Chain A
């Protein structure tokens, strides 16, 4: 896996360009909250996030629960509005639905139990005024073959993997250049996972579709992505190629995440750990967001937010948000973790 795999547009603007996006959720207080004098206020789900995805590229967004991954997906697809910042696809605002598809985490919830797969795929076509003859082609492109065997079935007759293929077919019908996939395999069993990953990889290869692959699972990110973006409490802490971020991590958080993986490589096991295990609730700490869990935190870390800057590795595109990145010892190489032993991109 290397930069060669990246089929990026040689020049010009990226396919997806996210700049300075912030999202705050207002939190409604219940009567109990008011009586207990719990503060109401707001949860900052995304704080000044930048992100690029090039044409035909697979970018993994990794982060723990609550880091803002789903919020990011919802902003990019236009389901919610960002408070500030810009989201552009091919240089245009997020109203061009056709070029961005979405695959949700729960295939059981994404399909209306009362409607057939054909009706599901037709929905987007109808809304966009596209010809209905694309239904079968879309189902088959998502490996539901022959389409005639699936078109008239309702979700309850299908396995989770088949449902997720149907959801992907629904996205493909609109000819997307980019598909946002929010934990698309987390609810599937291991054998299904490998198949869906292979499908994603194939669609990228054959149709040039770019994917923003959201996951909390670093081994999935390693298996599928060209580039990795590490999200923590709504902000990007590290980004770079999969190789850079997962084999030569710079940020203490990325290192800790990798170290926490059940590892087959004894060199990587247990060399780093999360100092305090819990992700803070509510507002992120001042200064470095990660400082209350960071084993390397010093006083200076509380003074300001570390900006996302070139990593000490010096590799192009590898950026990290840590004041002490340069001082920290080089990370031990991290073992490859492939889900279910299958690495769809293994041949690359």
Chain B
């Protein structure tokens, strides 16, 4: 291939998929626009629920009749204790946000770091790290969380807070982080392996740049978008895991979570009472969030794919 082919029209834009660039490209797709809007709404609910509803106390105290269907006063209806479901769902976003964000950070730090080191160093370091990654890859997240959550809760106690986050949540985050870093590490490693052979890395080695600097300057910037795409997928997965754990009663009892609300609906026999709104509010929130994450993650992947194709 001649060098000029790399300057084809598509390549001009896509050669530098990164940062703000990436956001602009995403906004050109209608599905990504909708998904990003949903995620923005989620983020706002998590950070500033006051924008939409009252403070947390108003959500957890009953003030209406139980099991009211959606109406002007209660847009999402009320639960079996007469609490406003919209209020609960908005406040529930915070847990999803915290769990999703923290899990993604842990996963990306562990998986990204280990993947880059394994890919760049190669040889025995690579073999060893990938063996460890494979071991973690087969750990079932949910089962592990199921076992660890009650144990840690017993050991540390419900009320203990670390940096303002209750330990139950931290358990969930830790379990998700520990079980999902390995697939990230694999993806990052294979990207690093091919980057390592690129001439600009070879030339950096030639002028004497240290491996750590090469990783920071050349490897990391070139896989940043891959990490973003991967992180979003991790967020979706961890929100699901948290919801499931809360649903079966292993979540944080002091902060409403979508999974907890769903669990309440289940124990209040909402399905058999025909109180569909009781399930719809938290269920819809989970569904839309996970779908939105998946759409954005896939869209980034597709953009990257084209990016890689153009560059080759």
Contact B203 A97 (CB under 8 A): no
- With A108-B3, A123-B217, A126-B209 already in contact, the answer to whether A156 and B15 are too (CB < 8 A) is yes
Contact A128 B208 (CB under 8 A): yes
Q: How large is the interface on A (under 10, 10 to 19, 20 to 34, 35 or more residues)?
A: 20 to 34
Cα distance, A152 to B270, chains bound together (Å) = 63
Q: Which residues of A sit under 8 angstroms from B210, Cβ to Cβ?
A: 127
Contact A174 B203 (CB under 8 A): no
The reply on B218 being an interface residue by CB < 8 A is yes
B:198-236 near A, CB below 8 Å: 198-200, 202-210, 213, 217-218, 221-222
- With A102-B203, A115-B217 already in contact, the answer to whether A156 and B16 are too (CB < 8 A) is yes
The reply on A49 being an interface residue by CB < 8 A is no
Cα distance, A167 to B218, chains bound together (Å) = 16
The reply on B121 being an interface residue by CB < 8 A is no
The reply on B33 being an interface residue by CB < 8 A is no
The reply on A109 being an interface residue by CB < 8 A is yes
Residue of B nearest to A74 (CB): B202
Contact A109 B206 (CB under 8 A): no
Q: Which residues of B sit under 8 angstroms from A127, Cβ to Cβ?
A: 204, 207-210, 213
Q: Which residues of A sit under 8 angstroms from B204, Cβ to Cβ?
A: 123, 127
Contact B16 A104 (CB under 8 A): no
Cα distance, A115 to B16, chains bound together (Å) = 10
Cα distance, A160 to B207, chains bound together (Å) = 22
Cα distance, A347 to B198, chains bound together (Å) = 39
Contact B217 A124 (CB under 8 A): no
The reply on B74 being an interface residue by CB < 8 A is no
Q: Which residues of A sit under 8 angstroms from B221, Cβ to Cβ?
A: 112, 114-115
The reply on B7 being an interface residue by CB < 8 A is yes
Cβ of B136 to closest chain A Cβ, rounded Å:
28
Contact A128 B200 (CB under 8 A): no
Cβ of B170 to closest chain A Cβ, rounded Å:
35
The reply on B4 being an interface residue by CB < 8 A is yes
The reply on B272 being an interface residue by CB < 8 A is no
Q: Which residues of A sit under 8 angstroms from B217, Cβ to Cβ?
A: 112, 115, 119, 123
Q: Which residues of B sit under 8 angstroms from A160, Cβ to Cβ?
A: 3-4
Contact A124 B208 (CB under 8 A): yes
Q: Which residues of B sit under 8 angstroms from A111, Cβ to Cβ?
A: 200
- With A112-B218, A114-B18, A187-B3 already in contact, the answer to whether A78 and B198 are too (CB < 8 A) is no
Cα distance, A188 to B3, chains bound together (Å) = 8
Cα distance, A112 to B222, chains bound together (Å) = 9
Contact A79 B205 (CB under 8 A): yes
- With A79-B202, A156-B15 already in contact, the answer to whether A106 and B3 are too (CB < 8 A) is yes
The reply on B309 being an interface residue by CB < 8 A is no
Cα distance, A218 to B16, chains bound together (Å) = 38
Contact A123 B207 (CB under 8 A): yes
Q: Which residues of A sit under 8 angstroms from B199, Cβ to Cβ?
A: 104, 106, 109-110
Contact A154 B207 (CB under 8 A): no
Residue of B nearest to A126 (CB): B209
Cα distance, A104 to B200, chains bound together (Å) = 9
The reply on A107 being an interface residue by CB < 8 A is yes
The reply on B12 being an interface residue by CB < 8 A is yes
The reply on A339 being an interface residue by CB < 8 A is no
A:112-169 near B, CB below 8 Å: 112-115, 119, 123-124, 126-128, 154, 156, 160, 167
The reply on A170 being an interface residue by CB < 8 A is yes
Cβ of B122 to closest chain A Cβ, rounded Å:
14
Q: Which residues of A sit under 8 angstroms from B6, Cβ to Cβ?
A: 108
B:59-114 near A, CB below 8 Å: none
Residue of B nearest to A120 (CB): B200
The reply on B2 being an interface residue by CB < 8 A is yes
Cα distance, A293 to B203, chains bound together (Å) = 37
The reply on A71 being an interface residue by CB < 8 A is no
Cβ of B226 to closest chain A Cβ, rounded Å:
13
The reply on A77 being an interface residue by CB < 8 A is yes
B203 is contacted by which of A78, A104, A156 (Cβ under 8 Å)?
Answer: A104
A114 is contacted by which of B16, B203, B205 (Cβ under 8 Å)?
Answer: B16
Contact B203 A170 (CB under 8 A): yes
Cα distance, A112 to B3, chains bound together (Å) = 14
Residue of B nearest to A110 (CB): B199
Contact B4 A97 (CB under 8 A): no
B:4-22 near A, CB below 8 Å: 4, 6-7, 12, 15-16, 18
Q: Which residues of B sit under 8 angstroms from A115, Cβ to Cβ?
A: 217-218, 221
Cβ of B37 to closest chain A Cβ, rounded Å:
29
Q: Which residues of A sit under 8 angstroms from B311, Cβ to Cβ?
A: 113
Query: Given A170-B203, A187-B2, A187-B3, 13 other A-B contacts at CB below 8 A?
Result: A78-B206, A79-B205, A97-B206, A104-B202, A108-B6, A110-B203, A114-B221, A124-B208, A127-B210, A156-B7, A156-B16, A160-B3, A160-B4
Query: What are 30 inter-chain pairs, A to B, with CB distance below 8 A?
Result: A77-B206, A78-B206, A97-B208, A104-B199, A104-B202, A106-B3, A107-B3, A108-B6, A109-B200, A110-B203, A111-B200, A112-B200, A112-B217, A112-B222, A113-B16, A114-B16, A114-B222, A115-B221, A123-B207, A123-B209, A124-B207, A127-B204, A127-B209, A127-B210, A128-B207, A128-B208, A160-B4, A170-B207, A174-B207, A187-B2
- B residues at A contact (CB < 8 Å): 2-4, 6-7, 12, 15-16, 18, 198-200, 202-210, 213, 217-218, 221-222, 311
- A residues at B contact (CB < 8 Å): 77-79, 97, 102, 104, 106-115, 119, 123-124, 126-128, 154, 156, 160, 167, 170, 174, 187-188
